[in-house]
A and B are shown apart, each in its own frame.
Chain A
Amino acid sequence: DAGVIQSPRHEVTEMGQEVTLRCKPISGHDYLFWYRQTMMRGLELLIYFNNNVPIDDSGMPEDRFSAKMPNASFSTLKIQPSEPRDSAVYFCASSQGVFTGELFFGEGSRLTVL
């Protein structure tokens, strides 16, 4: 299995631009998570989906952030407009049943907003 695949691995953009991060979960996994990691705040859960439906988005920092999961094999995290404080590494993770123990994380997308 290829694991959780995220793209792009690195993104540099200017303040005000729209940013779209993409994630392909492991086939057969029915839960998908988006996390953000910064030096100051560590790893934070932003949102998670079950069977393509958003279950908990309480971690999404503000309305500039949105996430979708149009089908079982694809999810996006969009930031519009982006700000320098959004600079972070964004991780996607998936699991087969959220409470079975193991979340599989992707390699992350490093976002730099200038």
Chain B
Amino acid sequence: DAKTTQPTSMDCAEGRAANLPCNHSTISGNEYVYWYRQIHSQGPQYIIHGLKNNETNEMASLIITEDRKSSTLILPHATLRDTAVYYCIVRVAGGGSQGNLIFGKGTKLSVKP
């Protein structure tokens, strides 16, 4: 079972920041938070991951709360092409099947003109 809780859907205006929340209250100390997205009819695409520090790359920023029980993915200037299902995943960085990516239902983000 997925260890995360995400809203089913969200809307965002084009050009505005999209803030996608994720609850992972049972996260363990050795588990990372990963974000992937899946644009319609395509394979999932990696966005970003982090352990406890905030992370930023060319696609997005990841803000993890100090207690690590929740996080927020931020797309700073959403475009229509960012319309997709966004998956928040917690995953062990180590050996064995615990490191497998387990996808939940994700959040369907709709960016509107």
18 additional A-B pairs beyond A43-B103, A91-B44, beta carbons within 8 Å, are A42-B103, A42-B104, A42-B105, A43-B44, A43-B87, A45-B100, A48-B100, A55-B97, A91-B43, A98-B99, A99-B94, A101-B32, A101-B46, A102-B46, A103-B44, A104-B46, A107-B42, A107-B43
Name A101's closest neighbour in chain B (CB-CB): B49
- A residues sitting closer than 8 Å to B (CB atoms) are 4, 33, 42-45, 48, 55-56, 58, 91, 93, 98-99, 101-108
Number of A-B contacts (CB under 8 A): 49
Chain A proximity of B61: nearest CB distance (Å): 16
Dominant secondary structure at the A interface: strand
Chain B proximity of A37: nearest CB distance (Å): 9
Chain B proximity of A107: nearest CB distance (Å): 6
Within 8 A of A (CB), among B55-107: 87, 91-95, 97, 99-106
Whether, in the assembled complex, B45 has its beta carbon less than 8 Å from a beta carbon of chain A, the answer is yes
Chain B residues contacting A107 (CB-CB under 8 Å) are: 42-43
Bound-state CA distance A79–B82 (Å) is: 35
Name B91's closest neighbour in chain A (CB-CB): A99
Chain B residues contacting A48 (CB-CB under 8 Å) are: 100
Find out whether the CB atom of B46 lies under 8 angstroms from the CB atom of A56.
no
Chain A proximity of B57: nearest CB distance (Å): 11
Q: Mark B18-58, 1 if CB is under 8 A from A, else 0.
A: 00000000000000101010000111111001000000000
Q: Contacts A91-B43, A91-B44, A107-B43; is A45 near B49 (CB within 8 Å)? A: no
